[in-house]
Amino acid sequence: ANLAAMVNLGLPVPQGFTVTTEACNEYYADGKIINDEMKKQIDDCLERLEKLADKKLGGLDNPLLVSVRSGAKFSMPGMMDTILN
């Protein structure tokens, strides 16, 4: 939500999307399986990012670079992992 607030203030923030807590809970409830609807939503978001950046996730010539970050209600520096491709 903090990134969304920064966007609303007009601050420069890289394009991205959020996987909600509800989606995470659904993933765990489904036995750690990404269901078809969730996969479609993620694929649609990635496609939008690829078009905005004119890059392709996994592309060799002009790859889309991403950062996957976990979030928490309260700041916990050093407690959460960031995954880079």
Q: pLDDT tens digit string along 24-44?
A: 899 999 999 999 999 999 999
Does residue 72 have a pLDDT over 70? no
pLDDT over 90 percentage in the chain: 54
In the numeric block, which tokens belong to residue 7? 């966007």
Residue 83's pLDDT is: 63
With respect to residue 4, please indicate whether it lies within any of the assigned structural domains.
no
Number of separate domains in the chain: 1
Rounded distance, CA 76 to CA 22, Å? 21
Q: What is the CATH number of the domain that holds 21?
A: 3.30.1490.20
pLDDT, mean of residues 12-17: 88
Q: Which long-range contacts (CB under 8 A, 24 or more apart) does 47-55 make?
A: 48/17, 49/15, 49/16, 49/17, 52/15, 53/15
Q: Which residue reads 């607030």 in tokens?
A: 5
Domain extent for 55:
17-84
pLDDT digits (tens, 9 = 90+) for 41-68: 999 999 999 999 999 999 999 999 988 8
With respect to residue 52, please indicate whether it lies within any of the assigned structural domains.
yes
